[in-house]
Amino acid sequence: MKAYRYDGYYGLSVFADVKKSGESDEDTERRLVEVAHLGNISREGNRSYSVARAGDLERFSFRKDEKDDKEAPEHYTVDMGSLEELEATVADFLSSFRKS
């Protein structure tokens, strides 16, 4: 709802990036968890922790908050569309994720 109030669209906050040189998939996930300030949460057995691969999310629009100088380079808002399609779009987005 915050994104809608400020930017006129519904969005979900995500952290995403490509692997850095020499990074494994696990290293990339660990780095993103740290950037999101969730490093103190155990990923093992955590039912709330899920990951998705870029290829599974190509149908969504990722936006940067150009008004926020302090936004991490790995932080994006995923456009969830209009209120009429919000529930279906969120369900579709979440279906792209798998438990890690």
pLDDT of residue 58: 93
Residues 49-100 pLDDT 10s: 788 988 899 999 998 877 767 889 999 989 998 888 899 999 999 999 887 6
Q: Which of 11, 1, 23 is nearest to 64 (CA)?
A: 11
Residues 7-63 pLDDT 10s: 677 888 899 999 999 999 989 988 998 998 887 877 776 777 788 988 899 999 998
Strand residues in the chain grouped as ranges (E): 10-15, 50-51, 62-63, 75-81, 98-99
Report, in angstroms and rounded to the nearest whole number, the Rg of the chain calculated over CA atoms. Answer: 14
pLDDT of residue 2: 54
pLDDT of residue 69: 74
